[in-house]
Amino acid sequence: MQIVILFCKLRISFCGSSSRRGSHCTLLLAEAITRTDEPSARPSSFTLAFGRRPAETLIRWKEKYGDTFTLRMAGQFFVVLNDIATARKLFQDDNVTGRDEYSLIRTENGPIPPGAGLVMSNHELWKTHRRFALSTLRDLGMGKNWLEDTIIAEVEALCQVLRETQRKPFNPKVKLTNSVSNVICALIFGQRFELDDPRFTRLTAMIAEDIASSSEEVLVKTLPFLMRFPNGRRSMIIRGRRNRESLIAFMREMIAGAEGSKDHYDVQDYLHAYQRERETGAKMADKATFDDIQLVASMLDLFGAGTETTSTTLLWAFLLILESPDVQRKIQDEIDNNVGREKLLSNSDRGRKVSSPMPSNLIPIGGRVNHEEVTVDGYTIPKNTSIILNLFSVHRDPRYWKNPEQFDPTRFLDKNKKLIKPEGFAPFSVGKRACLGEALAKMELFLFAANLLRCFTLELPPGKTISHQDYVSGVVHAPFPFELIFIPQI
């Protein structure tokens, strides 16, 4: 078997095949060849070409091939973007809002079709349901007290659990994830779960496993024989599919519960808003697409995207604070000087009085497909090309960041200590398909991080060290498991 990676640095024409090469095209060829007579050199995973940390590999290639290059992997071409300025221009184009079939986690013969839901849908289905989700989430929560109250109630429940750890080393991941997940559960189907509820804990853990197994699903599309004999990857995929079934069953239970109540017109959550829309078509023109499958898939997407992302970002914040105790002191001083410890910090304290640290490299790589040929910065990208935005590279780009490796929240403040948004900052990606939950996530991140640091000082257990270099790279970058001590301050 031979897998070839092909890089083309090009002007004017995209080197999709040799017959289309233009005279302006400089071709650089790098081959990752796996020889059948060298078993150890065979691809052990889809990440063969990328290594264990694809985003880091892409940075190395950027240094060699420039900001924009193409690569061919397993017969498919990808355009890789490393400069956020190019991505901002390109991703604003209506024709660059597609998702790549190749990277779909859901399999053709699974219970949910690959292109259903919010994250992986395309064309009109995506447009309608993204608009519906955005406007429903806005109606439900943004700027409304109940959402802030819901988040603060979760923070308080979490603080109680952390107090009960009695200064003993504790890994907060599970409780933090459940707490954050309760916020999106309140928005989607109006329910919360106890932080130690075993079934809920299993379900939120499944989201992480689901995300982790997604690259394996992509791998078996390329190498289907991997499913024909027992091996680690096959087990992971089988477990991932079983988890997906359980998550779907959970969503169906929530839907059935709501149907029992038959009060679509009174209840304020995404599920009931969807059922109302399905009956009335009041918001969207094509209510025919508001079917059961699309509902389950959208709820799954919101549940997954709203849980793992925000909770892992908070874990990164803990880790970085443990690495830089001076940053923790500064944040706590800011709280003391502007709000005091007695009062819970609310959304109105955000930015104005207290800034929160914002780790930026959660989702390292974003993907789009262009539905039509497009041109950007002199590059023409043929229709239906997979376009990868390397956000990891953007957030380390020396053109935008001084000492990018250093955790320094003050880089988000101007001379007058007002919050600024640096040009190279795009953790939620950019353009028409950027994160749908950005406003919610920012509100959650502030309320969780600021109130936790109001209540506790974070310390490493004696003799332990920690490093932001220790992380698992998948769809999401997640730090290795770690314990810390929560020292109550109030």
Where are the alpha helices (H) located in 262-291, listed in sequence order?
270-280
Q: Quick check: 72 and 6 in contact, CB under 8 A?
A: yes
84 part of the interface to ligand HEM, by CB under 6 A: no
Question: Using CB under 6 A, which of 258, 315, 363, 394 touches ligand HEM?
Answer: 363
> Binding site: which residues?
435
439 part of the interface to ligand HEM, by CB under 6 A: no
Q: How many residues does the chain have?
A: 490
Distance of closest approach, residue 386 Cβ to ligand HEM, in angstroms: 12
437 part of the interface to ligand HEM, by CB under 6 A: yes
CA distances from 117 to 140, 305, 339, 457, 482 (A): 19, 12, 42, 40, 34
Distance of closest approach, residue 365 Cβ to ligand HEM, in angstroms: 9
429 part of the interface to ligand HEM, by CB under 6 A: yes
Question: What is the pairing mode between strands 76-81 and 386-390?
Answer: parallel
How many Cα atoms occupy the beta-carbon half-sphere of 446 within 13 Å? Answer: 19
Q: Quick check: 448 and 151 in contact, CB under 8 A?
A: yes
Of 207-215, 249-257, 378-386, 437-445: span binding ligand HEM (CB under 6 A): 437-445
Question: Using CB under 6 A, which of 248, 320, 436, 484 touches ligand HEM?
Answer: 436
Q: Quick check: 237 and 217 in contact, CB under 8 A?
A: yes
Q: Quick check: 111 and 120 in contact, CB under 8 A?
A: no
Question: Using CB under 6 A, which of 103, 179, 294, 310 touches ligand HEM?
Answer: 310
Please identify, using beta-carbon distances, which residue of 213 and 311 lies nearer to ligand HEM: 311
362 part of the interface to ligand HEM, by CB under 6 A: yes
Residues 459-488 within binding reach of ligand HEM (CB under 6 A): none
Distance of closest approach, residue 49 Cβ to ligand HEM, in angstroms: 22
> Binding site for heme: which residues?
435
Question: Using CB under 6 A, which of 220, 267, 293, 435 touches ligand HEM?
Answer: 435
313 part of the interface to ligand HEM, by CB under 6 A: yes
Q: CA 453, CA 317: separation in Å to the nearest integer?
A: 11
Please identify, using beta-carbon distances, which residue of 3 and 96 lies nearer to ligand HEM: 96
Please identify, using beta-carbon distances, which residue of 184 and 331 lies nearer to ligand HEM: 184
Residues 285-304 within binding reach of ligand HEM (CB under 6 A): 301-302
Q: How many Å separate Cα 137 from the centre of its chain?
A: 18
- At 197, list the tokens: 């509820």
155 part of the interface to ligand HEM, by CB under 6 A: no
Question: Using CB under 6 A, which of 73, 80, 119, 453 touches ligand HEM?
Answer: 119
CA distances from 18 to 191, 250, 264 (A): 56, 50, 58
306 part of the interface to ligand HEM, by CB under 6 A: yes
Distance of closest approach, residue 200 Cβ to ligand HEM, in angstroms: 17
Please identify, using beta-carbon distances, which residue of 306 and 409 lies nearer to ligand HEM: 306
Question: What is the pairing mode between strands 76-81 and 26-32?
Answer: unpaired
Distance of closest approach, residue 481 Cβ to ligand HEM, in angstroms: 19
Nearest to 213 by CA among 83, 304, 115: 304
Environment class of 10 (CB within 10 Å of its CB; exposed 0-12, middle 13-18, buried 19+): buried
Where are the alpha helices (H) located in 232-324, listed in sequence order?
232-261, 270-280, 292-323
Residue, CB closest to ligand HEM: 437
424 part of the interface to ligand HEM, by CB under 6 A: no
Collapsing DSSP states into helix, strand and coil, what is residue 387? strand
55 part of the interface to ligand HEM, by CB under 6 A: no
440 part of the interface to ligand HEM, by CB under 6 A: yes
CA distances from 472 to 55, 85, 134, 476, 479 (A): 12, 28, 31, 8, 6
Contact residues for ligand HEM, defined by CB under 6 A = 118-119, 130, 184, 301-302, 305-306, 309-310, 313, 362-363, 366, 427-429, 433-437, 440-441
